[in-house]
Amino acid sequence: MSGFAIGLIWAWMFNGQFGIINDILVRVGIISHPIGFLSDPKFAMMSVIIANVWYGIPYFAIMLLAALQSVPNELYEASRIDGANRFKQLFKITIPYIRPTIVSTVLLRTMWIMNFPEIIYGMTGGGPANSTQILATHMINRIYQFYDYGQGA
């Protein structure tokens, strides 16, 4: 699914008047009245981050599953013979073995977020009061709103 379409869907879900997020929070009793998530600078960036995290979960899941499947079973068998419990296996075998995958996945996702502003444009357009502005949306705004191609480049 395109990032812009995901941004529009999440913008509808976070809508202050008829969004499903507000409806659920009111029904559960967490809040007493609807919140304008995308119109309040305090909540706008948090809302965009939630949408971006949701967008990145399948990528992380596939990468971590592939990394976990590459850990040799012999390491776990040897550690069980040596008396290691599950907790020690996690921190002494699994995490060190998949650390390069975790680091590269986080770095790639961070670069993608900085280079693909479509979710932010779909949800807030960089507002309110520039609270969800990132470098890519700022560059686009400089070019298309102010026709300042020098600063936009």
* Residue the block writes with tokens 């770095």: 107
Angle between helix 3-13 and 20-28 (nearest 10):
40
CATH number, domain at 50?
A: 1.10.3720.10
* Structural domain of 47: 3-152
Residue 35 CB coordination number (10 Å): 18
Per-residue confidence band for 2, with pLDDT thresholds at 50, 70 and 90? confident
Gap between the Cα atoms of 77 and 123, Å rounded: 49
Give 126 or 71, the one with higher predicted confidence.
Answer: 71
Global pTM value: 0.79
Give 89 or 3, the one with higher predicted confidence.
Answer: 89
Q: Report pLDDT for 66.
A: 97
Gap between the Cα atoms of 70 and 92, Å rounded: 16
- The domain tally of the chain equals 1
Question: pLDDT above 70 covers what percent of the chain?
Answer: 100
Note the pLDDT tens digit of each residue in 100-130: 999 999 999 888 887 778 999 889 988 899 8
Rounded average pLDDT over 89-93: 96
Cβ contact 94:68 at 8 Å? yes
Question: pLDDT above 90 covers what percent of the chain?
Answer: 75
Q: CB neighbours of 139 closer than 8 A, spacing ≥ 6?
A: 152, 153
